[in-house]
Structure 1
Amino acid sequence: MALDGVTRDRPEPDAAEMASRYGLSVSGARPGLPEYLRRLWEHRYFIGEFAKARSSTKYTRARLGAFWFVLTPLLNAAVYYLIFGLLLGTSRGVEDFISFLVIGVFIFTFTRNTVTSGVKAVYGERGLIRALHFPRAVLPITQVTIQLRQMVISMVVLMVIVAARGNLPDWEWLLMVPVLALQLMFNTGLALWAARLGSKASDAAQWLPFVLRAWMYGSGVLYSVERFTQGAPEWVGVLLNVQPAAVYIDFMRYALMSTDNFGAENLPPYAWLIALGWALLALIAGFVYFYRAEEEYGRD
């Protein structure tokens, strides 16, 4: 408008103010936690079908197909038995070392594979993230579901192996269900944590395997913690026994093995509370850590 020969432009309307006035919101904005959980629950069927599709295509070009889900940990157990059990003598003093070793390898493999697949869950699906709007936690939870499907198959093979070693089924075998449920909660938290770490082009996928390998060596997968910490300070044995991987492995050995070396007295004090505590801590902390970066995924 002209006034006294001077043209004065009207001030530009504030875009943020107008968007708020007319109910517009930022694309991909992070919803509140209750709403986020509700949306995540609505996608539960998609998670199941997505996991099924990914599982069926993983070994499509291999002749043995899905049998590799079981064959891989079995081959790892065989290699560990030759190197550690026979050559290094970690089997000495361990009754039924084969069952001991196979249980440790299978249970730790469940956690290790969940973390290594979780770290690629977001970065590997950038195209899907940019094309569709959905809670990004769907992606790491899908990877957890894939690993759970594989673990169920592996547990069948594991039960056959330990039964063939003379550990006949009894009521304690039912403990497998709550132990796996707690480990699943723990693994889900780790997968969410790893997914955010690897959500951008970082080196997480390169250094995590080294951390996991060191974790395996400190979890009593290949040897008896009690035997190898006899000359060490007491706190070393306590630390190795109460860390989460060792707790879940010890519980599964207690459930499946009928030898005296793996009775309830060999579990750490308050073992169930420790197992539950690790599961809740990992799940809650991992979910919150992942959720707080919801708006950043797929925008690199």
Structure 2
Amino acid sequence: MAKVAFLGLGVMGFPMAGHIAAAGHEVTVYNRTASKAKNWVEKHGGTMAATPALAAAGADFVFACVGDDPDALAVALGDEGAFGAMREGAVYIDNSTVSADVARQLDAAARAHNFASLDAPVSGGQAGAENGKLTVMIGGDDDAFSLALPVIECYSARVVHMGGAGKGQQAKMANQICIAGLVQGLSEALNFATEAGLDTDKLLEAISGGAAQSWQMVNRGHTMVANEFDFGFAVDWMRKDLRICLAEAAQNGAPLPVTKIVAGYYDELSADGYGRNDTSSLIRRLRKS
């Protein structure tokens, strides 16, 4: 069993850290809001620390799951960040969805301190985190990946090593590009079906067994029809992810015309007060009322 630190206990990090503890590892947690760390310890055992550095001291593996580029840099490289306390030979695993540039920056800083950093964004949403069934896309050193894999598998159903530093984040960008188009297409189809007077339960039964089937259709189709969006992956988080995708595409020259349009739709929803709704709330834009 390993000594593990977990930094960031949001809707994803809280259950992910719990799965690591349930597997028998010694876990110390840190969260910016200390009450969440206290709640985690009360539920899962382990210990809590007041700073990322105190959590990371002496750990074999340090996991992070935070919001955006500045958060990822602060928790790792800030004045009380984890990198200043990590031991040589340890592995830092960043489950946050951030830019590939930040992933490469963390990799370089880790190498300078004689430990390793893996960018390891996840897909599968809150339900995947709670059920320990996430997909993890990893960039970084081969040896570090092999060392960290048994612990990463505590909360995942699929782990794929994509290549060097930043490749995990680029794979997550591709994932989010797919989702943006899928949710818009599903929104248009379900709104069309409603306007045509179709029985949407029967429609979803029919098309979810064919070529149009997707995770979004199976897991969000019925709630979209019912106008239920108070759960899941928030619009504002998707806006952040698509901003990262568009910035990366501007660097590598890949055109993202549909992604750019859908990102604008999500901006509209957020401006209308729906920023905490699930991404499937995209259908709101199409409804007459």
| TM-score (structure 1 length as normaliser) | 0.22
Which structure has the greater CA radius of gyration?
1
Comparing both structures, which one devotes a greater share of its residues to strand?
2
Higher relative contact order (CA 8 A, sep 6+): 1
